[in-house]
Structure 1
Amino acid sequence: MSNMFCFQCEQTAGGKGCTKVGVCGKQPEVANLQDELTGALVGLARAAEGKKTDRRTDDLIMQGLFATVTNVNFDGARIKELIAQVRSAKAALGDVADLDPGTLWQGDPDLVSLRSLLLLGLRGMAAYAWHAAVLGHRDDEVTGWFYKGLRAVGAEHTVEERLAQLKEFGEVNLKCMALLDQANTSTYGHPVPTKVSTIIEKGPFIVVSGHDLHDLKQLLEQTEGKGINIYTHGEMLPAHAYPELKKYPHLKGNFGTAWQNQKKELDGIPGAVLFTTNCLMPPLDSYADRVFTTAVVGYPGLVHIPADENGKKDFTPVINKALELGGWTEDHKMTGINGGTVLTTGFARNTVLGVADQVIDAVKNGAIKHFFLVGGCDGARPGRNYYTEFVKQTPKDTVILTLACGKYRFNDLDLGEIGGLPRLLDMGQCNDAYSAIQVALALAKAFNCDVNELPLTLVLSWYEQKAVCILLTLLALGIKNIYLGPSLPAFVSPNVLQVLVDNFGIKPISTPEKDLKAILG
């Protein structure tokens, strides 16, 4: 078996790096092909310097980076196709060398750490930019930064230069998240507070996982009137809050909990499953025949649903499989990890800012003492129950904002209300960190203070590369004293960590009791 090296996700082996096989299930051949793809993307970015690129090349840059995000593409054949396409596009621009993939993770530990932060951030931003692009929303600065960032990955830089690049990247990623927010809200409307059932009704059904709302919309259109119910999974839960999606009566509810529980929850499922982005785990034999992939997602042996030249997809194979399996014969009860059967989502920026006066008054009269943003990625590593216990122990005069799949640790809890406002506010997917940022900036303006002077604490969990780009954006905005867990990234060297601690007050989580005491006094 050939060797590999990958330390880009939180579950990496020994907290240092996967060298034999990925803990995620990624095989060495695929890991090395992903590194080769990264080297080819750097070559394409070099060849494009000073030249105008076409949309096809821009799309390749985004798709190529997206395909290397954790739990997206396990299919070596598909990655080889991408490499060939990237090199073909590069040849059309000029004869420029790829970056030697063997150099990606080698060199001075601090410079490798900073280069890795930039590359992994680029991978996360590519996912957001692609979701916006499929809805027809692009930004020249964001697109241009993929080329600029890849060239920087492939060049030598000092520590000071790398730190400046990371700050600039964080600022650009904020624009990318704003772009995706505009794409989603202009297409589907602004999210509204919505209660979502976790009960799976009897009859044929399809579970849709990932993040891509455009894929969900196409599937809803193609299943209308066919007697098939649609359920979201994982990060797709916030789709229920968008008016243009929730108008479909067969968008019924949410299936299961966070992504890392799928092997248990999908075991023998009598329905079809569609993965639209990352979150795919190698499927068990008991359900592999009913799992479908689309977009950049890939796994050997699974049926892939491609898009035509206009971005349209034919989900007939998924629909037929759902009808063939027939679903459960009686309603199937599923619960959150705390036993709840109703989840609430839809508290994005438009909703929260719509009641800003009410929130501000509650702070001024002491009804709300503190805000916590508890969110991020979920994962299987022991210690993530910290976030459940933290939320349970927050005082009743505090509000919890949450987003991304980390919320599945506690989003089925009933935490009550403050002045008619729920204490737990689900703001959406990981990219909806943009909503949280806008709310924080609005509150800071209302109280005429700096964001870091607000009664607001960020308690974040991370797993993969989209968490990296969001963290870099928060740091670029100057947000300090972030609590981060459940473990620190393997790609952050001790010296780089010290820089983050010294400049931004990054704190590893300890225990809920100690951290709440430190925050609230």
Structure 2
Amino acid sequence: MFCYQCEQTAQGSGCTNFGVCGKSPEVADLQDLLIHVTKGISMYAHRARALGVSDQEIDSFVVEALFTTVTNVNFDEERMEQMIRRAEIIRAKARKLYEDVAMSKGITPENLSGPATFELAKDKAGLISQGEQVTPESRAKKLGDVMAGLHDLILFGLKGSAAYADHAQILGKKSDEIYAGFHAFLDFLSKESFTEEELLGKAIEFGHFNLKVMELLDAANTDAYGHPEPTKVRVTPIRGKAIVVSGHDLRDLDLLLKQTEGKGINVYTHGEMLPCLAYPELKKYPHLVGNYGSAWQNQRTEFDEFPGAILMTTNCIQKPKDSYKDRIFTTGLVAWPGVRHIGPDKDFSPVIEAALAQPGFTEDAPEKYITIGFARNTVLSVADKVIDLVKRGKIRHFFLIGGCDGAKPGRNYYTEFATSVPKDCLILTLACGKYRFNKLEFGDIEGIPRLLDMGQCNDAYSAIVVAKALADAFGTDVNSLPLSLILSWYEQKAVCILLSLIALGIKNMRLGPTLPAFLKPKVVAFLSENLGLKPITTPQEDLKAILG
């Protein structure tokens, strides 16, 4: 195996024996093979769509295949093999779709090769061996480090974007333009050779594409559950039977809440599910009582202490401890060997039964609350007041401090930075990186909270909308606003957001705790020279550089 798609990759260069995330070499190789075959699917689907035909099953599968290879999603060899076998069937379907429409139009179909015709082994051992031939490391041997790194920058961005597209399609929001984009980018990545210029250009093009994907998911979430609104959320448990839900999927939480009504079970969010408590159509359930714990990387301790059942949706799973392996469940694309999986029928009866069999919390903990729900509608509703405070010198600067959290050392930087921000500045935050400081008291500036939690990582879209609106109000561009982005990254959803910010021309972003291993020095130098992208240093040095 060779995997360097996340921030905590071994020795900052790549995992080669076993994934730091817990991914086995076999799963890593199967995931690389799945991506290879998925490129082949898209080679046919891209050409079929150009001739006027498409297929929903093909479109949806490509999104799922990309998403299932995101860090902390699928760790199960058997399920990965099943995905590859299904990919083989979908590829044959895509090929027939393309060849049939070409022939119907009197066009000779292209004689495609590579991922389009790659013949898969008959057994799992053979598949694993084939996966070893299409790792990022093997790609670097063919293309060189810089080319391979740029290729993987786009590929990893596609994986993160696929997570958002999958959430949207689950809620019924589908876009032919977006499906076409996934096929087109994968078709491009299936080429045998590239130039640096075309790869950089394609990365920027992808950044604009991902903005459309985030916009689609935003519409899916808000159409289904309403616009987030400022909400006080309890972050300490209360007496009673309990289920905690982690991951990202709003629909899974909604379905669980419906199935647990009247059963005497309290439901808690965890990790990136915290923002769900601000959506009107989710927070209306009285047994959705609050948030338990913190970010994904702390789950092994937090779940061990949780006296109820645990449901993992989409991603962010870690190797479960034996102490709770019999009461943790997965659903959707997330999977761990030996953990019970809830299928597409979404019958959560086993989760409910497990919760009722556990003791639950025996008493109320001391009350503690935080306020969330400052998405774009809320922030823009007070934009006039914010603008007035800026003009009167009451608000000096805005800091967006957010992104992924992780277990690797060095992330205390974000806590120290947030607590060091002067009291005449506002802090916007989103994604699980906020857990580094979201339970601290920051006060307010004339009624505007100094800490504004904007939601999940995909709610970077909200932050972009707010920044553009403020820039318009001041008659300037985003780069001229008193705004600084202090970003943390861990996995591929952070990559697609970073590419969108780069595509928008956002300058002087600070990224940490380390720069991605696939961004080679030559690419980092280009981004630094053209956009001022730089690694974080210390909170004091970075604040001084920003504020003077």
TM > 0.5 between the two? yes
SS of alignment partner, residue 371 of structure 1: strand
8 Å Cα contact 2:32/2:134 also seen in 1: no
| Contact 1:10/1:462 (8 A) holds in 2 | yes
- Of residues 273, 284, 296, the one that matches 1:259 is 296
Contact 1:198 1:333 in 2 (8 A): no
Does 2:441 align with 1:414? yes
Alignment-derived partner of residue 157 in structure 2: 121
CA distance in 1, matches of 2:418, 2:167: 31
Q: What are the ranges of 5 or more consecutive residues in structure 2 without an aligned counterpart?
A: 97-115, 120-129
2-structure distance, mates of 1:415, 1:474? 27
- Residue 13 (structure 2) pairs with residue 16 (structure 1): yes
Runs of 4+ in 1 over 3 A off after TM superposition: 98-101
**CA separation of 1:6/1:83 partners in 2, compared to 1, >3 Å: closer, same or farther?**
same
Q: CA deviation at 1:139?
A: 1.4
The answer to whether 1:219 aligns with 2:253 is no
Corresponding residue of 1:338: none
**Does the aligned pair in 2 maintain the 1:44–1:98 contact within 8 Å?**
no
1:435-462 C-alpha deviation (Å, 9 max, x unpaired):
0000000000000011100000000000
Is structure 2 residue 45 aligned with structure 1 residue 48? yes
1:364 paired to 2:391: yes
Question: How far apart are residue 162 of structure 1 and its match?
Answer: 0.5
C-alpha distance in 2 between matches for 1:269 and 1:136:
33
Contact 1:377 1:463 in 2 (8 A): yes
Work out whether 1:478 is the aligned partner of 2:505: yes
Distance 2:390 2:492 in 1: 35
How far apart, CA to CA, are the structure 2 residues paired with 1:114 and 1:486?
Answer: 21
Task: Tell me if 1:318 matches 2:351.
Answer: yes
Match of 1:111 among 136, 147, 156: 147
What percent identity do the matched residue pairs reach?
Answer: 59
CA distance in 2, matches of 1:448, 1:49: 41
Residues 341-360 of structure 1: pairs in structure 2 closer than 5 A = 341-360=368-387
Distance 1:43 1:332 in 2: 54
Distance 1:268 1:420 in 2: 37
Q: Report if aligned partners of 2:237, 2:364 keep a CA contact under 8 Å in 1.
A: yes
* Alignment map for 1:377-396 (pairs within 5 Å): 377-396=404-423
The AA in structure 1 aligned to 2:317 is L
- Number of the residue aligned with 2:190: 154
Match of 2:179 in 1: 143
SS in 2 for 1:201: coil
1:351-385 deviation line (CA, Å, top 9, x unaligned): 00011100100000001000000000000111100
Is 1:432 matched with 2:435?
A: no
| C-alpha deviation, 1:343, in angstroms | 2.1
**2:523 pairs with one of 486, 496, 505:** 496
CA distance in 2, matches of 1:176, 1:136: 14
Match of 2:492 among 462, 465, 470: 465
C-alpha deviation, 1:142, in angstroms = 1.3
The letter for the 1-side match of 2:547 is: L
Give distance in 2, aligned partners of 1:161 and 1:170. Answer: 14
Q: How far is 1:332 from its partner?
A: 4.4
Please, what is the CA RMSD of the aligned residues? 1.2
User: How far does residue 16 in structure 1 lie from its aligned partner after superposition?
Assistant: 0.4
Q: Quote how far apart the aligned CAs of 1:47 are.
A: 2.1
Q: Which ranges in structure 1 are unaligned for 5 or more consecutive residues?
A: 335-340
1:288 pairs with 325, 347, 363, which one? 325
Q: Say whether the 8 Å CA contact 1:42–1:98 is kept in structure 2.
A: no
Q: Give yes or no for contact 2:241–2:264 (8 Å, CA) kept in 1.
A: yes
In the TM superposition, what is the alpha-carbon distance from 1:268 to its structure 2 partner?
4.7
For 2:409, the aligned partner's letter is P
Select which of 167, 191, 208 maps to 1:131: 167
Tell me, yes or no, if structure 1 residue 168 matches structure 2 residue 201: no
More helix by share: 2
* 2:47 counterpart SS class: coil
For 2:483, the aligned partner's letter is: L
- Which residue is equivalent to 1:397? 424
Cα deviation, residue 98, structure 1: 3.9
1:88 is matched with 89
Residue 279 of structure 1: aligned partner? 316
Does the 8 A contact of 1:141 with 1:172 survive in 2?
Answer: no
For 1:98 and 1:500, the matched residues in 2 are separated by 36
Contact 1:199–1:332 (CA<8 Å) still a contact in 2?
A: yes
DSSP 3-state at the match of 1:94 = helix
Measured in 2, the distance between the counterparts of 1:329 and 1:247 equals 25
Which residue of 1 is the match for residue 122 of structure 2? Answer: none
Q: Comparing 240-249 with 46-55, which one deviates more in the overlay?
A: 46-55
Pick aligned residue for 2:247 from 197, 210, 213:
210
Q: Contact 1:288–1:302 at 8 Å: present in 2 too?
A: yes
Q: Secondary structure at the match of 2:439?
A: coil
Structure showing greater radius of gyration is 2
On the 8 A contact 2:46/2:180 being kept in 1, the answer is: no
1:332, 1:274 → 2: CA distance?
22
Compare 144-153 and 124-133 and name the one that shifted more. 144-153
Cα separation, 2, equivalents of 1:268 and 1:386: 27
Amino acid at match of 2:355: A
Deviation at 1:509? 0.4
Question: Does the CA contact (< 8 Å) of 2:58 and 2:94 recur in 1?
Answer: no
Pair 1:36 & 2:45 matched? no
Deviation of the 1:333 alpha carbon: 6.0
Aligned to 2:99: none
